[in-house]
Amino acid sequence: MAAKSPANSTPRRPVSSLSARKLKDNAADWHNLMMKWEKLNDSGFTTANKIVNMKIGEQFQDNELEIACDSSATESEKPAPKYNEELDNCCAELLETLKRMTKIQLKMEKLTSTTKAICDLETFHYGAGNCTTPFFHTWPTPYFYEVSLKLSKMYKEELQLKQTIVQEIAHSADQDLMMVYLSSWLYQPYIENSSKLLLESMLLETGHRQC
Amino acid sequence: MAALAAALRGWVAAVEPQDAAWRAARAALAPLLHSLAGLAAQMRAAQRLAWGRSPLGGFGELRARLWRKQRGAAEALLEELSGRRAELRAVRDAVAAGVAAVLRLYEERAAELGLEAALRRGPSCPSLAEALEGLQDVERYYRCLCLESELLLRRVSCDSLAEVEALPQSWERILERYKDDVVADALLKISLFVDNQQELCCSLAS
């Protein structure tokens, strides 16, 4: 049932319908989740940077110690590596950040499946491809799902990368590899630049942003 | 002499905010250069890494994706750097125009003033010639530092990462040759002239 609308604008269904409200709420949730993710990314980078600096510091000390020790010392005579409490704390902190990011990514998947459910409901009511009246301005309902799916996939892949980084960063001795871990964490290669545009478009479509 | 003193006073008033803008643009350069150098170090590390033998080997497109993101970040920094360079050039051009105007006025009045008056100095007053020399010192300072910074920064590109990584040190070496006191000393000299040039006129009369 299309609501009355001004002659020049696209005919719309009543925005107060539950599905439209849910889509609007989802758009707001996407925004909030992506902002939280960015904050965690920043704090995670600070922690990862500390870990790498400590590892490099340890390597430097070990090298100096090796030079100072008698070169004929056997493996058993060489001093054992010391437990680094600060390093351990940073690793725990990074792991905690990852856990929080994992929760966010799961919520993103939930948003995507809710959007899919709304599309399925629409198909049930109108038949596939028969409903041409958008809830808001121009987006057909399946497009909301397409955007959610794209975003969800980006964050899922990014999370997999971050999981590997968290597992490996404190165990690497290769400085180039540690630098690549840091860079990968910071620049989030699997979250494409288009994600910001997709989010803003969704917010504009659902009326959270004004033209 | 009074007309020249007035022109110099006006020039000093104009140069003080321009010098502040220059210092702000110059101070903003160092953190940008450090960020670029850090980014270049990351890009070089990614080039050197044996990706296939690392735990990241399972991420097929990672290398290309990371490179694209790093380049994007580098381009954003270069754009900001370009803005700062434009600010430095704007100050250089404004100061040069001001100096040219004062020197043109001197050339018009030179014959009337005479060489002796231009060279006369007092106990607390530099000569007009020294004040004008200060003007030229300031113009030369901005012009040369601007030129050196342009020569350094114009070469910055993602194709020469080793040079980008060395940018902060290269910039420090340039700054060591251009002490800030040149401008402060010249402004002081000119201000002393402007404030005390009456005593030169009195000594001329006596």
Tens digits of per-residue pLDDT, A137-152? 899 999 999 999 999 9
A80: closest CA of chain B, how far (Å): 26
pLDDT reading at A60 higher than 60: yes
- Range among A28-42, A118-132, B1-15, B21-35 rated most confident: A28-42
Taking Cα atoms as reference points, which of A188, A189, A198 lies closest to residue A151?
A198
Contact in structure between A173 and A109 (CB atoms under 8 Å): no
From A11's Cα to the closest Cα of chain B, the distance in A is 41
B73, A188: Cβ pair inside 8 Å? no
Virtual torsion, Cα B129, B131, B136, B139, nearest 10 deg: -170
Residue to mutate among B47, B62, B165, with most A CBs inside 10 A, is: B62
Q: Does residue B162 register a pLDDT over 70?
A: yes
pLDDT above 50 for A3: no
- Label residue B158 by pLDDT band (50, 70, 90): confident
Residue A211 above 80 pLDDT?
no
Global confidence as pTM: 0.81
Q: Nearest CB to B69: which of A161, A164, A189?
A: A189
Average pLDDT over chain B, rounded to whole? 89
Return the pLDDT at A194: 96
CA distance B158 to B176: 27
List Cα–Cα distances, B101 to A33, B66, B92, in angstroms.
Answer: 59, 53, 14
Q: What is the pLDDT of residue A91?
A: 94
Q: Is A177 on the interface with B (CB under 8 A)?
A: yes
Higher pLDDT, B85 or A84: B85
**Interchain contact, B45 vs A179, CB within 8 Å:** yes
Of A13-27, B39-53, B146-160, the least confident: A13-27
Close Cβ partners of A46 (under 8 Å, ≥ 6 residues apart): none
Write the residue in A176, A187, A189 that is nearest to B49 by C-beta. Answer: A176
Residue A210: is it exposed, middle or buried by C-beta count within 10 angstroms (0-12/13-18/19+)?
exposed
List, in sequence order, every beta strand (DSSP E) within chain A: none
The closest of A13, A11, A7 to A135, measured between CA atoms, is: A13
Task: Tell me the C-alpha distance between A177 and A165, whole Å.
Answer: 10
Residue in B45, B48, B62 nearest the CB of A189 = B62
Whether A202 has a pLDDT exceeding 50, the answer reads yes
Does B38 reach chain A within 8 Å, measured CB to CB?
no
**Given this model, what pLDDT does residue B61 score?**
93
ipTM of the complex: 0.82
When pLDDT is cut at 50, 70 and 90, the band that residue A6 belongs to is very low
pLDDT, residue A4, reads 44
Q: Are B77 and B29 in contact (CB under 8 A)?
A: no
Highest mean pLDDT among A46-60, B59-73, B180-194: B59-73
pLDDT per position as a tens digit, A150-171? 999 999 999 999 999 999 999 9
Least confident range of A37-46, A57-66, A68-77, B133-142: A68-77
Place of tokens 């005390």: B196
Q: Is the pLDDT of residue B206 over 60?
A: no
Q: How far apart are CA B173 and CA B110, in angstroms?
A: 40
Average pLDDT, chain A: 86
Render pLDDT for A68-114 as a digit per residue (tens, 0 to 9): 765 555 555 555 556 678 899 999 999 999 999 999 999 999 999 99
Region for residue B49 given its phi and psi (left: phi exceeds 0; alpha: psi -120 to 50; beta: otherwise): beta
Chain A, chain B: beta-carbon pairs less than 8 Å apart: 55
Question: Inter-chain contact A180–B55, Cβ cutoff 8 Å?
Answer: no
Give the lowest-confidence range in B137-146, B147-156, B178-187. Answer: B178-187
- Put simply, whether A60 touches B (Cβ < 8 Å) is no
**Three-state helix/strand/coil letters over B74-92:** HHHHHHHHHHHHHHHHHHH
Of B124, B105, B139, nearest in space to B2 by CA: B105
pLDDT at position A26 is 96
B44, B47, B51, B56: best mutation site toward chain A, by most A Cβ within 10 Å? Answer: B56
pLDDT at B201: 66
Q: Is the pLDDT of residue A1 over 80?
A: no
pLDDT digits (tens, 9 = 90+) for B16-71: 899 999 999 999 999 999 999 999 999 999 999 999 999 999 998 999 999 999 99
List Cβ neighbours of A10 (8 Å cut-off, separation of 6 or more): A134, A137, A138
**Structure tokens of B37?**
């150098």
B72 Cβ under 8 Å from any chain A Cβ:
yes
Q: Does A17 touch chain B (CB under 8 A)?
A: no
Res B91 pLDDT > 80: yes
Residue B186 has pLDDT above 60, yes or no: yes
Contact between chains at B55 and A164 (C-beta distance less than 8 A): yes
Mutation target for A interface from B35, B36, B42: give the one with most A CBs within 10 A.
B42
